[in-house]
Chain A
Amino acid sequence: MNMPVKPAPILPRNSLADRPLLIVMSIMAFMASLALLLTSMSNRASTDWQSELKESATVQIYLTDNAQRGEAVARAMSILSGIDNLKATPISDAEARALISPWIGEVDLPDNLPLPAMIAVDKQGGDIFDSRGLKIALENEGLTVDVDDHSAWSGRIARAATAVRIGTSLVLILLLAGSIAATGFATQSAMAVHRKVVKVLTQVGAQDRYVAQLFTQQFFFIGAIAGGIGIIGAFIFTFFISLLFGGGGTSLLPALKFSFSDLIYILLIPLLFGVVSAIAAGLTSLQVLKADRRSS
C-alpha cells in the first residue's frame, strides 16, 4: 500500500504566464497603499489641527500708535483674565513679526509700523468659544479689536481633507477597476495557456463552476501576494520619504506623520486585491467556458 500523498494542484502554480499580472497587481497595490496612507495621514493631521484650532483664538488689537501697545494689551489682559476657562497669553512683537514673515519675507520692518497687538487665547474646557461676546466685551473697553476664532481656517482644512478623501477614494476605485480589467485579461490568457487542462477537465465531466473555482483560487493567491508586495513597497517608500524629508510641516501647516495605526488600513489591501482578483477570474472563466460551449 502506498502512503497517501497530497496531489499536485490541477492548475500549475508559479506559471510564467502569471508573472505579468503579479507585477501589474503589485504596482496597483503599491499605489492603492500609498493612496490609503495619504488619506489616513491627512485625515489625522486635519482632525488634530481642527481640534487645536477650535480650542484657541487670537485677539488682534488695532493701534494707531505703537506707543499705545503696552497699555492696550494690559487693558485687554485684565478683561480676559476675568473670564472663566480662558488662558490669555500676549504674543510678543518678535513672535508677531515671525508670523507675518511667510508673506513679506525676511524684511526689517520700520519700528513705527503699527502692527496690531496680539493675544493668544486658549480655551480651558467649558462651553464652545463665544468670540462675538469676547469682541463686545473688549470693544466696551474702548479697544478696536478683532477676535479670530480660526473658523475660516478650520472650514478650509475640513474642505481640503474632504477633497483629499474624495480624490484618494476615486484613485482607489480606478485602481480596483484596473485590477479587475487586468485580472480579466490575465484569466483569459491563463485559460489559453492551460487550454489542455481545461479541455481534459471538461471531458471528464467537470462542471463550469469547478473549473472556474480553480482559476478563482489561483487568482486569489496572485492578488493577495501582489497586495502584500504592494504594501511592503508602500511602507518602505513612506518610511524613507519620512526620513528624507521629515513630516513636511511648517509653522502654519501641520506635518503629515506616519502612525502604525495607518497599517490597519493598508493591511486590508492584500485581502481586497485577493477578493477582487478572485471575483474577476471566476466571472471571466465562467464566461469563457460558456462561450467555448456555444462555439463547439
Chain B
Amino acid sequence: MPITNSKSSPLTQSPSAPDVARLDHISLRYGRGPEILSDVSLRLRPGSFTFLTGQSGAGKSSLLKLLYLNLTPSSGLISLFGQDTSVMDGIDQQEIKRRIGIVLQDFQLIDHLNVMENVSLPLRVAGLDPASVQDDVVELLQWVGLGDRLHARPQTLSGGEKQRVAIARAVIAKPDLLIADEPTGNVDAKIGQRLIRLFTEMNRLGTTVLIATHDIDLIRDNDSDIIRLQYGSLHHGLTA
C-alpha cells in the first residue's frame, strides 16, 4: 500500500491536482549489487511537508536521487507533477528539474563563483538577468545569515555557511518541490531552526517539501508527515 502524506498547507492545490511526486513499486539496485530500495511506493501531495528518516545506508539519498531524476529505478514508475518520467526526453527532464530545488549533503557549490553568483545560478539558467534578481538574492542571503558573505568564495566558507548557500540556491527560484538531504547537519541549533522556518514559510506559500534527516529532535519539533526507510522499505512514523 502506498504511503501518502495527507497534511497540506492552506495554499495547497485542489484535491484533484496531480501528486507532486509519485513512486509506484520502485526497486533500485546499483549494477548487480543488492537491492537498495525494494517495492517502494510513495505519494507526495501538493503542499505537503514530509520528513524522511532512517539509518545511514537505509537508502534515503538514493530515494532522493530518484526523485530529482539523478537516478533511474531498476523497476517501477516515477511520476513528477503528473508526468511519467520514464517517457520523458532530456528536454522535458530538465524542465521538470527547474521546478525542483535540491540541497545535497556535499553542497555542490561552484568554487570560482562567489556566494551571490552560486545562489543566482538557477535564475541565470532560467534566462533571467543576474542584475535584475540581485536584490532578491541579497535579501535571501541576509535571511539565512549570510548578508556579510555575499562576495566570499565557497572555499573560504565554513561547512554551515556552505550549507546555507546551498539552501539559498535551492529555494531562490521558488521551486514547486524542495528536496533537502540533511539540511541542518552542519549548522548549530539556532541556524537550524531558522532554516526550518524558511522551509516552513516556503511550504506555507505552496512549495512541497521533503527533508531527509537523522535529527529526531528536529522532526519532533515539527508537526509534519514522517516516513522512515528501513531495510529498503518505507514505513509511516518514527518507529515500527
- A, B: real partners: yes
In the bound complex, residues from chain A placing their C-beta under 8 Å from that of B124 are 7, 10
Whether B125 and A210, one on each chain, are in contact in the complex, defined by CB atoms closer than 8 angstroms, is yes
B29 within 8 A of A: no
B126 within 8 A of A: yes
In the bound complex, residues from chain B placing their C-beta under 8 Å from that of A10 are 110, 113, 121, 124
In the bound complex, residues from chain B placing their C-beta under 8 Å from that of A197 are 110
In the bound complex, residues from chain B placing their C-beta under 8 Å from that of A201 are 121, 125
Number of residue pairs spanning A and B whose beta carbons lie under 8 angstroms apart: 77
In the bound complex, residues from chain B placing their C-beta under 8 Å from that of A199 are 108
A2 within 8 A of B: yes
Chain B interface, number of residues (Cβ within 8 angstroms) = 38
CB distance from A2 to the nearest CB of B (A): 6
Among A196, A205, A296, contact of B125 (Cβ-Cβ < 8 Å): A205
Whether B117 and A8, one on each chain, are in contact in the complex, defined by CB atoms closer than 8 angstroms, is yes
In the bound complex, residues from chain A placing their C-beta under 8 Å from that of B120 are 7
Chain A interface, number of residues (Cβ within 8 angstroms) = 26
CB distance from B58 to the nearest CB of A (A): 22
Expressed in whole angstroms, the Cα–Cα distance for A12 and B70 within the complex equals 25
A200 within 8 A of B: yes
CB distance from B86 to the nearest CB of A (A): 13
**Across the two chains, which residue of chain A brings its CB closest to B97?**
A205
A74 within 8 A of B: no
Whether A204 and B90, one on each chain, are in contact in the complex, defined by CB atoms closer than 8 angstroms, is no
**Across the two chains, which residue of chain A brings its CB closest to B127?**
A210
Q: Which 5 A-B pairs have the closest CB atoms?
A: A205-B98, A4-B131, A205-B97, A204-B122, A206-B125
Task: For the A-B complex with A200-B109, A207-B91 known, give 11 more contacts whose Cβ atoms are closer than 8 Å.
Answer: A2-B134, A7-B113, A7-B120, A8-B112, A10-B124, A196-B108, A197-B110, A201-B121, A202-B97, A204-B122, A204-B173
Supply 21 A–B pairs (Cβ within 8 Å), ascending by A. A2-B138, A2-B150, A5-B131, A6-B131, A7-B113, A7-B116, A8-B112, A8-B113, A10-B110, A200-B108, A203-B102, A204-B98, A204-B173, A205-B95, A205-B97, A205-B125, A205-B126, A207-B91, A207-B94, A289-B90, A293-B93
